[in-house]
Amino acid sequence: MKRKNLILAAASLCLTAALITSCSPKVYSEANLILPAQPLEAVQVFEPGDDVPDEAIGIGTVAVRDMGFATRCKYDNVVHMAKQRTAETGGNGLLITEHKTPNFWGSSCHQVAGTMLYISENGEISDSLRRAASMKATQVQLEKKSKYRIDIPSSQDIFGVNAGVSFLDSRIETPWGDYDNRAGFNVTAHYDHLWSRGVGVGALANYNTTSIHGQTLSTFFVGPEVVYGLRFAYRWYFDVGLGAGYGYYNDGEEGHSGFGSNARFGIDYLFNEKVGLSLMMNAQTIHLKKPKGFELKKNEFYGVSHYGIELGLQFYL
């Protein structure tokens, strides 16, 4: 594989990760009742400890969360975003029930969660409306498990196993001649430890195999990684990892060791809080000692490089 192709592959993975990550905080909401939209200026904000009118009812919950690289997330900004969602849902009151301030180990943004309220102008609300809304605002507990909670664990451990097709993209010498552009099979296992900002470290092991003239060629890679992971929607998670370590290549007759590097990008669909279906793209290179008499082309190195796409499961421990 040409060196510039590998650089482009790694850059593409990082660029994709950057594009997925929003520059603004994300607003999540869940409505028990949707009413006609209200003007933004009609929404009153009640801070924790403020008295909420008895006639107020909770029509849903709202949360504004940091997506990892968020900007424009001062307290006034995130409250304004929560007010906008409240007005769109038909509420005219917002009770702030949770406020996470920026900190070094967590998010650099303010994050809030609250209850969207409807407050009757004449102080009276029909019983049917109360039943439709399910509960009064003061009875809404965001502490119960909800997909819109803004709690972020101080750390998380993730284990993933994937398998799929791969494509040899380097010219390599074998006992039967020089070969490149061969299809193969990939198996990858990785373990990540993430901190609350999504940055972490991990380890990855990969086994790749292909066949030439009935003979099996295989590679093995294992090494540490720098990783970044982000849950960017209720059931969606993505991660990217860059690693370097030990690489091994077997041409069917003898083995060769060298320096290896790996870049991966994955998107997961979460079945629940513990298990997700993972789609991973992988690019790997193992540098080997060039045999005598093997002529390299311009911008070519001697070794094994392959890329692939894999499907598997990811477990959130």
Whether residue 135 has pLDDT greater than 80: no
| Entry pTM | 0.56
Q: Which pLDDT value is given to residue 153? A: 45
Arithmetic mean of pLDDT, 281-305: 79
Span 39-60, pLDDT tens digits: 999 999 999 888 888 888 888 9
Residues 6+ apart with CB under 8 A from 120: 55
Indicate the range of 71-75, 183-187, 242-246, 294-298 predicted with least confidence: 294-298
* Other beta carbons within 10 Å of 280: 24
Q: Which pLDDT value is given to residue 255? A: 84
Q: Which pLDDT value is given to residue 62? A: 93
Residues 6+ apart with CB under 8 A from 13: 240, 263, 264, 265, 281, 283
* DSSP secondary structure code for residue 197 in this structure: T
Q: Which pLDDT value is given to residue 19? A: 46
Beta bridge partners of 183: 167
Q: Which pLDDT value is given to residue 55? A: 81
266 neighbors 238 (Cβ within 8 angstroms): yes
Whether residue 312 has pLDDT greater than 90: yes
Span 21-37, pLDDT tens digits: 445 678 888 888 778 88
Q: How confident is the model at residue 106 (pLDDT cuts 50, 70, 90)?
A: low
Q: Which of 288, 275, 273 is nearest to 219 (CA)?
A: 288
Indicate the range of 99-108, 147-156, 186-195 predicted with least confidence: 147-156
Residues 6+ apart with CB under 8 A from 295: none
174 neighbors 211 (Cβ within 8 angstroms): no
Mean pLDDT taken over the chain = 78
